[in-house]
């Protein structure tokens, strides 16, 4: 039999046996020519398999349409939003009289969770179709911004990490956008702005406003009591979601930004098991996100936990002025936040010359230029090696006398071998200069006291992170650095003071509050690696089962 082509994988034709298995989960119904089966913007659209006739998928723009694909007998509609229940980006219309099998979201989820062969065909097609939509910029968002604007970078990252396609108009390159700006009366302070779902204009929006406009969280019932609410969608939270949902738990993940966590800002993770040539953090976590959704976990984005109501059970998680989300058990996977340089005007340049991640997006901004990487840990080493591929020169600034104590040996060797990386020991950044974008950096040799000024416009700060635990507000025992204490690390005295109510001691990864677990970088004593975060996320689920049975 011939190998399937790329088109076969994106738009496969199902066998009669496969169609019969799908039919068992849905209902057959006739279609009329011109009948709209899904409208662009419909939330949680149904899934259709054509058994007779045809369905065209078009992308509407004003009064015109662009044909995306024509599905014939044996082919099916849908892409990634079928799993998330988010809004449709395209219109589906019958082209001739015929018949389809229709499945709603719940029945489709039941199908992919119980039929491994169809699950693989559908998942692969949905993901490849989304990749095509992203590559073609087919979406319901136009982002207008500038590479010199921190907000633009943030919004790009938010949309990218949510796997949401968008078109980008770069104000620095497009000289002809004035008419567009006038039409929407957009001033400099309104940049970036977003044209959302056709005509709604969001000026300098927050991630939450974008998520609301695009309906990212619309399909989620916040009043429903979950078996487990996971807070944070980095590797540890996503692992807990995959294992929890795949083992039949009712899982909701709350994420204050977008899925991926710190790992999402890593250009290439080379030490995660099973990826000998490395994988970008974004790709790894995007896969995990789809996997969690496949098993039925739900994910709320741009909704951070502000407080844990921990006095009585079920616990409740407050998300701003919005609802309190009830939970039988809670997994805290909020990771850590980047340490910042203590310079008075730092925030002026964040995203406009100061970056905390070195991904493809940032690398594009500084191609052919000199850049600085601050820090001597593994993330700094990876960033320097990655940036050296596109930057003219990478200055690595470390306060200590060398890298040996803080960085893996393989990275040190690559840094030494790279002609475009210059290691500057005993050196720190002492001043930043510029207006709308960073233009110059001053650094000081701590031994000689000598200060040099360099016309460098990009600084990557890779100096570690502090735990995201302030929001817990005394509910849970923390260590002296603010990381969460769990299991055997909690002393008898600490448990007594926290009024631990059970005869048994806390399980491994359980905090001083029964049924509340901590995993990944936010946990005291955690090894700050993707693998350990993923491992802890999966282990916590085993204990969640035990708590739910108590
Ligand atoms: C640049 C870089 C490169 C790295 N490279 C590697 C590598 O090559 N190999 C390796 O093993 N490790 C690497 N690491 C470390 C690895 O990424 C972390 O150990 C891992 O991401 C920790 O996962 P986590 O899920 O515990 O936390 P995080 O990844 O920090 O995720 C926490 C998530 O919680 C969210 N959150 C925080 N507060 C709240 C709240 N109140 N409500 C809701 N959500 C919240 C955050 O937005 C975030 O998405 C790297 C780290 C960085 C920064």
pLDDT per residue rounded down to tens, the chain (550 residues) = 566 677 778 899 999 999 999 999 999 999 999 999 999 989 889 999 999 999 999 988 778 888 999 999 999 999 988 888 888 989 999 999 999 999 999 999 999 889 999 999 998 899 889 888 888 777 788 898 887 777 898 899 899 888 898 988 888 777 667 666 766 677 778 889 888 887 788 999 999 999 999 999 988 999 999 999 999 999 999 999 999 999 999 999 999 999 999 888 777 788 889 999 889 888 999 999 999 999 999 999 999 999 999 888 899 999 977 789 999 999 999 998 878 898 888 878 877 899 887 877 788 888 899 999 999 998 899 999 999 999 999 999 999 998 888 888 999 999 999 999 999 999 999 999 998 889 999 999 999 999 999 999 999 999 887 899 999 988 999 998 899 999 999 999 999 999 999 999 999 999 999 999 999 999 998 887 899 999 999 999 999 999 999 8
The number of residues making up the chain comes to 550
Distance CA 8, CA 1 (A): 13
Instruction: Report helix, strand and coil shares of the chain as percent, to nearest 5.
Output: 30, 25, 40
Q: If you measure from the C-alpha of residue 537 to the centroid of ligand 1, how many angstroms do you get, rounded to a whole number?
A: 13
Distance 64 CA to ligand 1 centre (A): 43
What does the pLDDT read at residue 470?
Answer: 92
- Looking only at the bridges linking them, the beta strands covering 421-424 and 427-434 are unpaired
Token pair of 305 as six digits: 């936990």
Other beta carbons within 10 angstroms of residue 323's beta carbon come to 14
Strands (E), 62-137: 64-71, 91-103
Contact 88, 38 (CB under 8 A): yes
Please, are residues 433 and 346 in contact by the beta-carbon 8 Å criterion?
A: no
Q: Please give, one letter per residue, the 3-state secondary structure of 101-168.
A: EEECHHHHHHHHHHCHHHHHHHHHHHHHHHHHHHHCCCCCEEEEECCCCHHHHHHHHHHHHCCCCCEE
Residue whose tokens read 């590559």: 135
* Atom in ligand 1 nearest the alpha carbon of residue 522: 26
- Which residue is closest in CA terms to ligand 1's atom 6? 269
- Interior CA angle at 74 toward 68 and 76, to 5°? 45
| Cβ neighbours of 479 (radius 10 Å) | 15
Which atom of ligand 1 has the smallest separation from the CA of 259?
Answer: 49
Please give the Cα distance from 420 to 73 (Å, whole number): 56
Q: How far apart are the first and last CA of the chain?
A: 54
User: What is residue 172's predicted lDDT score, i.e. its pLDDT?
Assistant: 79
Residue linked to tokens 């609410």: 229
pLDDT value at position 182? Answer: 66
Instruction: Give the pLDDT score at 184.
Output: 63
Closest by CA position to 373, among listed 432, 458, 460: 460
Q: Whose CA is nearest to atom 12 of ligand 1?
A: 529
Distance between Cα 336 and ligand 1 center (Å):
6
Q: Which of 164, 161, 283 is nearest to 214 (CA)?
A: 164
SS3 label, residue 325: strand
Q: Looking at residue 312, what DSSP letter applies?
A: S
Question: By C-alpha distance, which of 88, 16, 84, 83 is closest to 55?
Answer: 88
491: exposed, middle or buried (Cβ count in 10 Å: 0-12, 13-18, 19+): exposed
Q: Which two tokens stand for residue 532?
A: 């350990």
- What is the token pair recorded at 172? 């620095």
Q: Which residues line ligand 1 (CB under 6 A)?
A: 231-237, 254-257, 261-263, 265-266, 269, 271, 304-305, 333-336, 357, 379, 382, 468, 471, 520-522, 528-531, 533
CA-wise closest residue to 335 among 512, 518, 517, 543: 518
d(CA 197, CA 260): 25
Strand duo 427-434 + 167-170: pairing: unpaired
| 261 backbone φψ class: left, alpha, beta (φ>0; ψ -120 to 50) | left
d(CA 274, CA 277): 9
CB 441 within 8 A of CB 369: no
Report d(CA 470, CA 171) in Å as an integer: 38
Instruction: Pull the structure tokens for residue 475.
Output: 């509910």
Burial of 41 (0-12, 13-18, 19+ CB in 10 A): middle
Beta bridge partners of 329: 228
Count of CA atoms in the C-beta half-sphere (13 A) of 255:
26
Q: Which atom of ligand 1 is nearest to the CA of 536?
A: 26
Distance 481 CA to ligand 1 centre (A): 17
Kindly list the distances between the CA atom of residue 112 and the CA atoms of 137, 277, 467, in Å, as whole numbers in the listed order. 28, 30, 37
Mutate to test the pocket of ligand 1, among 208, 211, 229, 266 (most ligand atoms within 8 A of CB): 266
Q: In angstroms, what is the span from residue 266 Cα to ligand 1's centroid?
A: 9
C-alpha distances (whole Å) from 292 to each of 123, 138, 143, 211 are: 12, 25, 28, 19
Structure-token pair, residue 252: 């909701």
Nearest CA to ligand 1 atom 48: 261
Tokens of 179: 């008419």
């Amino acid at each position: 039999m011939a190998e399937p082509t790329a088109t076969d994988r994106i738009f496969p034709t199902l066998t009669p046996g496969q169609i019969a298995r799908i039919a068992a989960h849905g209902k057959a119904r006739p279609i009329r020519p011109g009948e709209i089966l899904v409208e662009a913007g419909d939330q949680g659209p149904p899934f259709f398999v054509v058994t007779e006739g045809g369905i065209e998928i078009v992308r509407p723009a004003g009064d015109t349409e662009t044909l995306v694909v024509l599905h014939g007998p044996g082919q099916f509609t849908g892409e990634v939003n079928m799993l998330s229940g988010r809004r449709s980006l395209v219109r589906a219309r019958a082209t001739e009289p015929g018949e389809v099998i229709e499945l709603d979201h719940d029945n489709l989820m039941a199908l992919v969770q119980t039929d491994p062969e169809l699950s693989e065909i559908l998942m692969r097609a949905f993901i490849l179709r989304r990749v095509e939509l992203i590559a073609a910029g087919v979406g319901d968002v136009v982002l207008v911004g500038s590479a010199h604007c921190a907000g633009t970078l943030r919004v790009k990252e938010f949309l990218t990490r949510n796997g949401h396609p968008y078109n980008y108009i770069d104000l620095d390159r497009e000289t002809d956008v004035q008419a567009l700006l006038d039409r929407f009366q957009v001033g400099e302070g309104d940049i970036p702005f977003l044209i959302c779902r056709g005509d709604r204009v969001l000026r300098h929006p927050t991630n939450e406003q974008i998520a609301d406009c695009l309906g990212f969280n619309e399909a989620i019932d916040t009043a429903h009591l979950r078996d487990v609410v996971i807070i944070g969608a980095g590797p540890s939270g996503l692992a807990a979601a995959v294992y929890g949902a795949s083992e039949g738990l009712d899982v909701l993940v709350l994420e204050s930004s977008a899925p991926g966590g710190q790992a999402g800002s890593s250009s290439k993770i080379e030490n995660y098991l099973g990826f000998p040539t490395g994988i970008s953090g974004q790709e790894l976590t995007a896969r995990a996100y789809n996997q969690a959704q496949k098993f039925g976990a739900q994910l709320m984005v741009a909704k951070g936990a502000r407080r844990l109501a921990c006095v009585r059970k079920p616990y409740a998680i407050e998300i701003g002025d919005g609802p309190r989300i009830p939970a039988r058990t809670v997994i805290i996977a909020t990771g850590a936040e980047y340490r910042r340089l203590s310079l008075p005007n730092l925030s002026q340049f964040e995203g406009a010359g100061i970056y905390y991640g070195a991904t493809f997006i940032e690398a594009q901004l500084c191609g052919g230029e000199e850049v600085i990487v601050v820090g001597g840990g593994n993330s700094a080493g990876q960033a320097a090696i990655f940036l050296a591929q596109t930057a003219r020169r990478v200055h690595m600034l470390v306060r200590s006398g060398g890298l040996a104590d803080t960085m893996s040996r393989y990275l040190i060797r690559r840094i030494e071998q790279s002609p475009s990386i210059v290691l500057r020991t005993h050196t720190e950044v002492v001043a930043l200069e510029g207006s709308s974008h960073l233009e110059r950096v001053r650094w000081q040799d701590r031994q000689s006291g000598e200060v040099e000024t360099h016309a460098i416009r990009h600084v990557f700060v890779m100096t570690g992170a502090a735990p995201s635990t302030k929001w817990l507000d005394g509910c849970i025992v923390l260590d002296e650095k603010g990381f969460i204490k769990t299991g055997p690390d909690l002393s008898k005295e600490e448990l007594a003071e926290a009024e631990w109510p059970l005869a048994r001691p806390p399980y491994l990864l359980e905090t001083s509050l029964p049924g509340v677990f901590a995993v990944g970088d936010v946990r005291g004593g955690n090894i700050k690696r993707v693998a350990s975060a993923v491992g802890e996320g999966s282990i916590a689920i085993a204990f969640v089962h035990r708590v739910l049975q108590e």
